[in-house]
Structure 1
Amino acid sequence: MAVFCVYDAPDGAYLRREAVDGWIEAARAVEAVRTRVELQAAFEQQRGLGASASRRAGSALTQR
């Protein structure tokens, strides 16, 4: 278990977030998938597939 503290106020108050091991790796994996979907949509749009690529990218992001 890891504990992250973020200082939020001048008086030293802080927010505390406890996370299980692997939380950061999971967040990075989600970001990698999102980036890959966005890059694929941009590539398809440049190839002239336009709106259909945007719809597929949007639906892929909402399904995750």
Structure 2
Amino acid sequence: MEKGLSQLQLAQSIGHKSLSIVSLAEIYHNNQHFNIEHLVKIAYVLDVNICDFFPKYEN
């Protein structure tokens, strides 16, 4: 949302024709999730560091 991209625009930017990969992964429907290749592409498209997708845990 911050980058102003729709789910369809993001999906197309990472090489998919429909938004289903994005929408299903967002809600974790039927265990659908992004793989590391998706995350690399999404980070590039959004111009963010891939580490931003992983929360930092403190013990």
TM (normalized to structure 1)? Answer: 0.28
TM (normalized to structure 2)? Answer: 0.30
Structure number with greater CO (CA < 8 Å, separation at least 6) is 2
Bigger proportion of residues as strand: 1
